[in-house]
Amino acid sequence: MIGSKSENLPVQGSGSGDAEEAIDTLAHLLRVFGEYGFDTANIDAPRARADLEAWARHILVGSDPPGVAKASDRDGSRDWKGLCRYATEKRRDEVDYVIQSSSDLRAALWSFIQGMARAVPEDQGSNKSVMLQLDQLRACLSSNETSEIRRLAGASIDAIDGEIRERIERDRCRIEEIATRVVRVSDELTSACETLERDPLTGLYDRAAFEEYFTKVTHLGMLSAQSHTLFLMDIDDFKWVNDRVGQSIGDVVLKEVASSLLLGFGRRGDFVARYGGDELAVVVQTQGESVDRQIGEEALHRVRNLSIPDGDEQIRVSLSIGTSRLRCGEHSDEWLARSDRALHAAKERGKDRLVCESDFGESES
Q: Give helix 207-223 / helix 332-348 axis angle, nearest 10°.
A: 120
324-345 pLDDT, tens digit per residue, is 999 887 889 999 999 999 999 9
In terms of DSSP H, where are the helices of 224-287? 238-245, 247-264
- pLDDT band at residue 202 under the 50/70/90 scheme: very high
For range 177-201, the mean pLDDT: 65
Angle (nearest 5°) at CA 298 between 296 and 304: 105
pLDDT for the residue 253: 92
269: region left, alpha or beta (phi > 0 left; psi from -120 to 50 alpha): left
Of 311, 320, 313, 330, whose CA–CA distance to 257 is shortest?
320
Q: Which CATH architecture has domain 197-364?
A: 2-Layer Sandwich (3.30)
54-110 pLDDT, tens digit per residue, is 898 888 888 888 876 554 455 668 888 888 988 888 888 888 888 777 666 566 556
8-50 pLDDT, tens digit per residue, is 444 444 446 788 888 889 989 989 888 888 788 788 888 888 8
> What predicted TM-score, i.e. pTM, was given to this entire model?
0.55
- pLDDT band at residue 308 under the 50/70/90 scheme: confident
pLDDT for the residue 104: 63
What residues pair up with 283 in beta bridges, in sequence order? 230, 271
| DSSP character at residue 15 | S
